[in-house]
Amino acid sequence: RPELPQAALAAQERKRRAAEPVDRRRAELVAGALPAEFPAALPALLYKPDRGKMETKALEAACAETGLSAPRLLQQCGALADTHHYHLGRFLFEFFPKGTDFPPHAPATSPDDLPLASIQAFSIDDAHTTEIDDAFSVVFQPDGALRVGIHIAAPALGMTPESELGRIARERLSTVYMPGRKITMLPEAVVEGFTLAEGRTVPALSLYLDVAADLRILSHETRIERVAIAANLRHHDIEPVFNDETLAAGLPDFPFRDELKRLWELATVLEAGRGATNQTNRKDYNYEVDWTRPTASGVGHIRIVERQRGSPLDTLVAELMIVANATWGALLRDAGIPALYRVQTAGKTRMSTVAAPHEGLGVDCYAWSSSPLRRYTDLLNQWQLVAHLRGEAPPFPPKSADLLAALRDFELTYAAYAEFQRGMERYWCLRWLVQEGIAETIAHVLREELVRLDDIPLVVKIHSLPVTERGARVKLAVDDIDLLEAEIRARYVELLGKDSPDEALEGEEGGE
């Protein structure tokens, strides 16, 4: 029939016309130009391409022709000016598709009928901490006994689980941390209203410990009250005058010296009493990004500052937080009120709505309660605790489906946020190597082909590494660093001997 060839020709023509825009975009990409239609489609093209879209078809064809990956080709076309934005963008695309701005919400309520505590509290934090959740106080008794206060910020008093702010916290579940920036769980005005900032009197949940002169805890009491914050002590100010050496030699004079010394003595007794299995003196690192300084890799000059974990200040804060989380967990357990517990058995850590031991910490139960400005678990447990203290029905009753859903969502989200933070820390380690022009570096062998750099917390796979014992020091040559793929290529140069005890390498294999 004569009309068939005509129909076939028409179909061919339609196909050719449909392919024209794809082919034009492909040709532009191959030539190193970004098609005009691409900027609006970039996030989806990079992180979740739709193969039915013209832009995706053109990009795939151009990648096949050039032999480049999609991110690399788009970078060459000028679409990715900054590798940091590329890695951050992937996370935001998945977890904050509507952006990181907060939706409209009613402000938090401020309870004004709370009694004022007759103490002066102080906090201990890093220089950059703005969500100050915890503070301490010490009252010295004439017979050498102490009344120790552990004061936790109380945002649960300013919102309910079903309020707009409660739903915002439920959706975000935690503050997201990364070098150089963070995405807070709660809006800035709410954090500012409840953070334990110096010079302010703020609502708090206070746990008071009556401690004998020989540092036995005799009793405890929990109060909802207002607390005056006398000082925000910062690690970098206090650690030079309060450390293992100064404690042994006799402390110089500085604010809250006597309180800190007595709290540290209490903390060492508490630590020994727990018989804890997780005592480590591993190195910790602070990442400081100066966003005003441009570098060859993009805006942002990175400093990576080593800090030894397990200092007297660390021990003091950690032990008092463990006391608070264990005491309040037991309080809710004994009252038959559900809570979100952190449980560790047989070396595995998980969340649970049922109280059970945390073997690593050596406590009968452990309900995260000390960071309610930063973690939804702690905020939820605070709602439960406040209801119990006021004799009210808890917002999450026994067998609550909402409680179980919060637990499941929190575990998944918290793990994803932590994985993202590790990835960004790895990226900034690579940025530091580029920024400092590091051509050779020293590392310690972890196992087989894995080494850990001495200067920064970066674990690298070295395929050319000969069979070498764990802990051996080796010199490496840095051949290439790819910030887009967040990868490093380095090779073995020589063996320098062994000077690292195995215990110093414990737990250091993460981050590969």
pLDDT tens-digit map of 106-128: 999 988 799 999 999 999 998 88
Residue 375: pLDDT over 80: yes
Instruction: For residue range 444-494, list pLDDT tens digits in order.
Output: 999 989 999 999 999 999 999 998 899 999 999 999 999 999 999 999 999
pLDDT at 274: 87
Residue 390 predicted with pLDDT over 90: yes
pLDDT attached to residue 19: 66
Does 1.10.3470 match the CATH number of domain 438-505?
no
Which residues face 204 on adjacent strands? 153, 225
Banded pLDDT at 509 (limits 50, 70, 90):
very low
**Is pLDDT of 510 > 50?**
no
pLDDT at residue 511, rounded to an integer = 37
Average pLDDT on 332-343 reads 97
The residue among 347, 342, 284 whose CA lies nearest residue 313 is 284
Among residues 467, 461, 464, which one has the least CA distance to residue 492? 464
Return the ∠ at Cα 86 (arms to 29 and 416), rounded to 5°: 135
% of the chain residues with pLDDT over 70? 94
pLDDT at 238: 93
- Rounded CA-CA distance 151/134 in Å is 6
**């804890």: which residue's tokens?**
276
pLDDT band at residue 204 under the 50/70/90 scheme: very high
Predicted pLDDT at 21: 83
Mean pLDDT to the nearest integer, 151-173: 98
Whole-angstrom distance, CA of residue 189 vs CA of residue 112: 18
Q: Give the pLDDT score at 13.
A: 66
Contact between 196 and 133 under an 8 Å Cβ cutoff? The reply is: yes
Segment 266-308, tens digit of pLDDT: 999 999 988 865 555 678 899 999 999 999 999 999 999 998 7
pLDDT digits (tens, 9 = 90+) for 168-198: 999 999 999 999 999 999 999 999 999 999 9
CB atoms within 10 A of CB 504: 15
The answer, yes or no, to whether residue 512 has pLDDT greater than 50, is: no
- Give the span between the Cα atoms of 208 and 496, in whole angstroms: 53
Q: What residue ranges do the domains of the chain occupy?
A: 13-80, 116-422, 438-505
DSSP per-residue letters across 298-320: EEEEEEEEEEESS-HHHHHHHHH
Residue with tokens 């073995």: 492
How far apart are alpha carbons 17 and 221 in whole angstroms? Answer: 78
Q: What confidence category does residue 503 fall into, taking pLDDT thresholds of 50, 70 and 90?
A: very low
Q: At what angle do helices 312-334 and 257-274 cross, to 10 degrees?
A: 60
Q: Which of 254, 252, 267 is nearest to 312 (CA)?
A: 267
Contact 22, 57 (CB under 8 A): yes
Cβ burial of 382 (10 Å; 0-12, 13-18, 19+) is buried
Helix/strand number for the chain, H first, E second: 13, 16
pTM over 0.85: yes
Question: Tokens 């890093």 belong to which residue?
Answer: 126
CA pair distance 265, 268, nearest whole angstrom:
5
- How far apart are alpha carbons 44 and 94 in whole angstroms? 10
Q: Are strands 217-234 and 116-125 parallel, antiparallel or unpaired?
A: parallel
Residue tagged 């630590």 (tokens): 271
pLDDT score of 318 more than 50: yes
Structure tokens at 200: 């302010």
Tell me the average pLDDT across 201-214.
Answer: 98
